[in-house]
A and B are shown apart, each in its own frame.
Chain A
Amino acid sequence: MSRPVRVSPQELRQTLIEAIVEVAPDVDPTTIDPCEDLAEQLALDSVDMLATLVSVNERTGIEIPERDYPKLATLDDAVAYLVHAAVRQVDAAARQEEDSSI
């Protein structure tokens, strides 16, 4: 049975950028340094960061526990985290499906 990978890293990166621009409309996405701390380089405070992550959650369904917030500090880190989280979630869903089909 083939596992449907619903989100690619490119798509996740795009989703994250869209969420950032929603919170901070003046940000030019092409200027974001993927290795620099997002909050620092874009002057996003905790309310902005939370809003961004909530937006990502709403767009992708990926759950991000609060203790993991530091793992999403840079754009690259965040995309990597989201890819793994997405795969985990898809795996879990697939397992559930298999379990229920037995």
Chain B
Amino acid sequence: MPSLGADMESGTLLEWRVKPGDVVKRGDIVAVVDTSKAEIEVEIFQDGTVEQLLVAEGTRVPVGTVLATLQTTSDESERAQAPSAPPPPTEGPSAERPRVSPVARRAAERLGVDITSLHGSGPNGAITLADVQGTAGSTQAARAVKPDEAPAPSVAADRQAAMRQAIGALMARSKKEIPHYYLQSTIDLSGALEWLGKANETRPMSERLLPAALLLSATAKAAKEAPAMNGFWRSDAFQPAEHVHLGVAVSLRGGGLVAPAIRDADRKSVDELMASLNDLVRRARVGVLRSSEMFDPTITVTNLGDLGAEVVHGVIYPPQVALVGFGAVGERPWAHSGMLGVRPLVTVTLAGDHRVSDGAEGSRVLALGGRYRQRPEEREK
């Protein structure tokens, strides 16, 4: 059972999409799992032949439970876990065997955490469970917010309650652990929207862009250039991420939200981002997401959209260190060149983690993002 979010403790295997003997390749969807938030299509990480299904449909199991065994093509005799978290990099001959507590080692395997990258906070520098979970120094906070008993969400109401509990737990942990600071700035989108309108005139309906795609694109580009906003806080230290996996907070119909990731958003064009967004939102709305999208986003965007409030001050998703929020795009008075005019404006906010960055750094990110947002065509070149 893969971990499909920092707050997931267990999941219900809803459906097998493969049977023993099926040949699968990396990326194939092999099962559908119900977390407390959504139905997730689980992809496999390895090529091979399905050997045995170990968990029956409808069964709720803790994260880390082996769901099935796979005969890998590379080594027919090897039994690989399927689907498994990405395997930790093979360790070279190390001078000293790291001290890792048994439960920490087990958790690291389950969560796919590379133990060699961790800093041990236990006695004599031992790596503890808290280090693996990225909650060292706040075991209590993390423990206190864990739902005591994860109810099996067999019906929608249960799932609603469980999701509310999971969101509450994660957000409470965030507010307890992360010293948030907030910045906001209002951006004139008239140039961007003009460009967008022109671009859309010549496009078929299904390929038209929404302002949201521009906002995501600008955020991804800015995050790429601001390493202090893009990454994870783990083991009492910041680990910058190399690529931008942009979490997009999508509200679910009926309440609650999920924040699946658009992978490598910094390397996607606006068109590709729009396609990703459409696909993601569509599937989130009907409650089917893929396991690879639920892996850790490096930064999250919340976009309240055209119906939302003017400004959103968001709560950072641990272990991320920043969250960008967009209020509703709307026509408002705007002073420009000594004149007052009416322009489409959006208020963008940044919630930053003071353990990693300061307001000055955050301001630069907002300014950077603003530049991209105002002149999308420039970066499209």
Contact = CB atoms under 8 A, between A and B. Distances in A.
Interface in B230-255: 251, 253-254
A54 to B, nearest CB: 5
A97 interface: no
B206 A57 contact: yes
Contact of A50 (B201, B251, B278): B278
Contacts, number: 54
A54 B307 CA distance: 20
B306 A39 contact: yes
Nearest to A57: B205
Q: Is the interface of A mostly helix, strand, loop or mixed?
A: helix
Interface in B172-211: 197, 200-201, 205-206, 208, 210-211
Q: Is the interface of B mostly helix, strand, loop or mixed?
A: helix
A61 to B, nearest CB: 11
B353 to A, nearest CB: 28
B309 interface: no
Interface string A18-62: 000001111000000000000110010111101101100110000
Given A46-B306, A66-B197, A66-B208, 7 more contacts: A23-B285, A43-B253, A43-B307, A46-B212, A47-B281, A51-B282, A66-B200
19 contacts: A23-B285, A24-B253, A26-B253, A39-B306, A40-B307, A45-B307, A46-B211, A46-B212, A46-B305, A46-B306, A48-B285, A50-B210, A51-B278, A51-B282, A54-B206, A57-B205, A58-B206, A65-B201, A66-B201
Interface of A: 23-26, 39-40, 43, 45-48, 50-51, 53-54, 57-58, 63-67
Interface of B: 197, 200-201, 205-206, 208, 210-212, 251, 253-254, 277-278, 281-282, 285-286, 305-307
